Amino acid sequence: MSKNVGILDRLLRVCAGLLLIVLAAKGLIGFWGYIGVVPLLTGVVGNCPAYTLFGVSTCSHNER
């Protein structure tokens, strides 16, 4: 599985995912906040299935 998510994109995904999960756990937003697991996992793994589907990549050639 090749990586298609660049470093900055990964960092933003992990931060957004963690923020959503924490807000949902504290009850500040609804249960839908647990959808933050998706960007968290794609940021950690470095591969986004939607990017693959649409042929998008935010990786530089050095990161692949």
Q: What's the pLDDT score for residue 2?
A: 87
Q: What's the pLDDT score for residue 1?
A: 74
CB 43 within 8 A of CB 11: yes
Cα–Cα dist 6/4, whole Å:
7
- 64 residues of the chain, pLDDT tens digit each: 789 999 999 999 999 999 999 999 999 999 999 999 999 999 999 999 999 999 999 998 766 6
Q: What's the pLDDT score for residue 47?
A: 94
Total residue length of the chain: 64
Q: What's the pLDDT score for residue 44?
A: 96
